[in-house]
Structures are given as C-alpha cells and as structure tokens.
Amino acid sequence: MTEKIDEMIERMQNDYIKFVRLQFVDIHGVPKSIALPSKPEEMESLFHDGLLFDGSSIEGFADISSSDLLLKPDINTYSPLSWRPEESATCRFICDICTSDGDPYPGDPRSLLKNALKDLDKKGYTYNIGPEPEFYILDEDNLGYPIPSDNASNFDVDPADKGVDFRRELSLNLEELNFKIEANHHEVGPGQNEISFKFDDALITADAVITYKQAIKAIVNNIAEFNNQKYSVTFMPKPFNGVEGSGMHCHQSLFKNGKNVFADPDAEYGLSDKGLYFIGGLLKHAFPLTAITNPTVNSYKRLVPGYEAPVHISYGLKNRSALIRVPAAFGESTRIEYRSPDPTCNPYLAFTAMLAAGMDGIKNKIEPGEPVNYNLFELSEEELESNGINPLPASLWEAYHSLENSELLMNALGPQIGNKFLDAKYAEWDDYRVQVFNYEQRKYLDI
C-alpha cells in the first residue's frame, strides 16, 4: 500500500495538482466535497488515516451526538478535474466513509453498494450495469425563466440541434475523466440530450454517474460563462409540462467466471433461466423499488402515459412500452434494461436495490411470465387488468409506503439508510402536499 501511495503522490506532482477534492454523497446522491491544498508531505497521512469531518451536517448521516466521521479516499478513483483552471489544477478522490474508529460507516451509500457486491462476489458473480442518464440543456427567456435550449427532437442535427457543440465538448471532457464514451445524440424532448458510456462493474458505474452529472453541469456552465450565455443543465425528471421527461435506463447483466449468465443461445428468447428469474425478481419488487429508483415528487410526473416512460409492471422483447426491455443483443452482450429509473436517484442505493430484487428472483426462481409484445400505452385500464398487468406507483406517497413494507428492500438498505431515506421522503411529501401551484389558482380561484 505504501508503494501505491508513493506512486500516487508522484503522479499528482506530475499533473501539477494544487488542490484535492475529497468527494462523497449524501443519502439523496447529491455530491459533497471537502477541498484541501495538495501538499505531498500531508498526502501520505491522508491516504492512510483519512480526514475527520462533521457528519451531522450532512442529511441522512450521523446525529449530532456522534457526528465525527472519517473520509477515506479510494486511491483508485483519482481523477484530475478537466473543467478546473490549469493554474489551480484540482483532482478528485471518491471517498468511503468510516466511523472515527476506522470501521465502515453503516450510513454511507457507497459502502452499502460495496458490501452488496462483496456478498455477490462470494457467490461467484459480478454485476455489470450501464445507465443512460438524460438531461436538458436550458436557456432563459426574456424574463429569466428557464426554457429548452432548442426545439429539436430525437437524432436531429444542427442547426435545429443546438446541443452539438455542447455534446462534443462534454464528450471530450468526459474522456479526460476516463469515461469510455459510446455515442451522443439529441433526445426526444426539445433541448434534451444524451451521452452514453460503456458498461462496467456496478461500483465503478455508480461513481461514474455522480461524476457524470457533476461534470456536465460544470462544463456547460463554464462554456456559457466564457461565451456570455445563460445556458445551464438539469437532470430533473420532468422539467417541462407536455414534453418527454429525462430517464436513466439501466442496462444490467450478471457474469460468472467471465461468462454472461443471462445468455443462453438455445433458449426461446436468448435468455437463460437465471436471466428470466432476475427479471421476475425485479417485477415482483418493482412497486417498492420505484421509491428508490424514482425518489422525488417530480419523478412521478415523468411516469405517465404518452411520453415513452414506463407506467406498468411488465417486460417485453425489444418493447419500449414495458418496464423491462430485453434488447436484441445476444451472447456476451445479453442484458436487460430496467427503464423506470431517473437521474435524481442515488445510484449507490438504486443499484443495490435492483441487485437485491434481481437476486431474490434467482434465489426463489421467480418466473416473470410471458413477455408482452404489444404497445401497453394503447390498452385501456380494463384490458391491462384482464392481462394481469399492474401499474407502477402514481406518486411518491404510494411508493414510499410500499417501500416501508418491503422486507427485502429495507434489509438491502440496512436500518440506518432505510429509515433515514424514508424520513427524508416523508418530509419531502409533506412539504409538497401543502404547496399551492399556479395550476390550482387558475382552476379554482373563480369557483
């Protein structure tokens, strides 16, 4: 370990690093950081011993009576931040959170996922996941209100697509942060964009999602400031009425001994029994799982018919109206796509929960039934009910009440994170339900 630390300190010097950011997330997945001057003589102690901080100031963490926590940098997450000025070059380490005694802290979302993957490794599996976080680039109208940056749609090109230059610059910067960019394009909504990156181990991917969102916001902000523009970025699930929301579809697969255990070329759908059981587990637990994958009041304004987001608990082959889609990919590329998550979820919690649901399916051999091969959006509620297809939660209220009664998912989150997460959702719903909106004023003031 000492040799690795010495190599890292030398690398930081070669990269002319002046400041170090120690990054972690709160219970919502919002990135937090503490910045330190990069002094070689102090780095060894930092990597060995960590940095003490006040955990009571972070939502979902420690109480004020036991607030001393340690940030322990994961040396494998070193990354210079490409959007910071060269004259004050800054790097980032993602941290695990420990108690003051050095033990893993049970309220740390990253440690939760790490522990779940360690347990999975004991069974011989690795869990790979590839998310697709969508986002809107925003402009401002004459009154300073946010509006989409263009009126383009899916796969449009410039000049209608005004995100071309942004996506090019974003892709180049993300590659400097070690992202393996696969493609970028304009999405369905006006001003909506997507930059996809490659599959990886679930922990690496969760780290990447946090970095991705932070980097995109910072880079677009820098471009806008440089050009005296007012562009910004939002990952809000439904930023505008009447247009498509932003999702984070999660492609996922299990590997064992280097082989994709979801793949079976001789099976009817190219999916092994374990692949089908994994789908069965996700479907069984989909209702409470939605509280974690879609954790805001606004999330449920995306999960409505007519805007390509899933609404009903079902799976299908290449069927984008279903909650789970099985893409037309075979062999080692065989995977399933869970389509309800949105970019506001905490990826460490969401990946842990999806893994728990899927592995419950494998453990108990939960059959998913037959895939749906029709457009679910075209069926009436009566037709859906007669086919045994149930809806996803219609509100955060429904979702979190279902989560609190889910023994599997509450066990997966652990008592500290599970209870703190529910407390936060109760508070969010209570805050939302007492608000009075413009819609209500327009509809009811004259009654």
User: Which residues face 325 on adjacent strands?
Assistant: 316, 337
What is the model's pTM?
0.94
Burial-class residue 177 by CB neighbours within 10 Å (0-12, 13-18, 19+): middle
Q: Which of 132, 150, 156, 264 is catalytic?
A: 132
3-state secondary structure of 352: helix
The DSSP secondary-structure symbol of 314 reads -
Return the pLDDT at 320. 79
Q: Which of 161, 244, 337, 342 is catalytic?
A: 337
Return the pLDDT at 389. 87
Structural domains present in the chain: 2-105 (3.10.20.70), 115-433 (3.30.590.10)
Specify whether 132 is catalytic.
Answer: yes
Q: Which of 26, 134, 244, 360 is catalytic?
A: 134
Q: Which of 7, 49, 54, 175 is catalytic?
A: 54
Specify whether 63 is catalytic.
Answer: no
Specify whether 187 is catalytic.
Answer: yes
Rounded to whole angstroms, the Cα distance separating 18 from 241 reads 44
Asked whether 63 and 94 are in contact (CB, 8 A), the reply is no
Q: Which of 139, 185, 320, 398 is catalytic?
A: 320
Distance between alpha carbon 202 and the CA centroid of its chain, in Å? Answer: 11
3-state secondary structure of 93: strand
Return the pLDDT at 1. 64
Specify whether 21 is catalytic.
Answer: no
Express each pLDDT in 273-283 by its tens digit.
999 999 999 99
Specify whether 381 is catalytic.
Answer: no
Specify whether 87 is catalytic.
Answer: no
Return the pLDDT at 125. 95
Q: Which of 150, 156, 194, 264 is catalytic?
A: 194
Q: Which of 187, 207, 264, 360 is catalytic?
A: 187
Q: Which of 92, 167, 339, 401 is catalytic?
A: 339
Specify whether 134 is catalytic.
Answer: yes
Specify whether 7 is catalytic.
Answer: no
pLDDT below 70 — which residues of the chain? 1, 62-66, 86-87
DSSP code string of 213-277: HHHHHHHHHHHHHHTT---EEE--S--STTSPPP-EEEEEEEEETTEETTB-TTSTTSB-HHHHH
Specify whether 48 is catalytic.
Answer: no
